[in-house]
Chain A
């Protein structure tokens, strides 16, 4: 069965960076894009970016351009999300979510359990 298992909670200082991992299993890792979303306290979900595990091509939401970096390690079927220049507004639960593949789709068929990132001095 498809599983996306994310790394544990992180605490980062303002101005620093944080890196969250998402390990996939149960499907052909390189065949499906992976997305990242986040949910700040009391707010809705927010799409951050997408990576093609086969080749590493990425696309980011304009809001996060220059601050977020998605990478992939096909040898361990793991995708990483690194967010730099942290501020208190980056305190949120971060999710990875698998793209189901195909043309003309815009949904996510499996999600990770979420990783809480807290920014505090």
Chain B
């Protein structure tokens, strides 16, 4: 299993929207609606923000949304805030376990 592909970094200004993509294959992202996203502030525990492609856990801001098309999943963050600056990881079910993306560092300018 190869890691899912994410761009290394993305940036945006407060109030703007950004989208992070996560590309897999027909064996993982493309075959299952089991994509999740995690926000990770270094030194802290990762935080689940999206599961099942587009579902938000209770307590997670509706500024976070997820979608999927073919083998690529996407996380959109609208109305960027300073506290959104973090690393973001996608994850997908695959036979034999789950696989993660390499992470995308979001910088809020």
Interface positions of A (Cβ within 8 A of B): 4, 37, 43-47, 61-62, 95, 97, 100, 104-114
Contacts and interface: CB of A to CB of B under 8 A. Distances in A.
- Interface on chain A toward B: helix, strand, loop, or mixed SS? loop
B3 A44 contact: yes
Contact of B97 (A61, A95, A111): A61
A107 B48 contact: yes
A104 B101 contact: no
A106 B38 CA distance: 13
B46 A111 contact: yes
Interface string B75-105: 0000000000000010111001111111100
Contacts of A61: 96-97
Of all A-B residue pairs in the complex, the 4 with the closest CB atoms, nearest first, are A106-B93, A107-B36, A44-B102, A45-B100
B103 to A, nearest CB: 5
Contacts of A47: 97-100
A47 B34 CA distance: 15
Given A61-B97, A113-B44, A45 B51 contact: no
B15 to A, nearest CB: 29
Contacts of A111: 38, 45-47
A100 B45 CA distance: 16
B98 to A, nearest CB: 5
A112 B45 contact: yes
Among B3, B43, B48, chain A packs the most CB atoms within 10 A around the CB of B48
B70 interface: no
Contact of B96 (A37, A62, A105, A112): A62
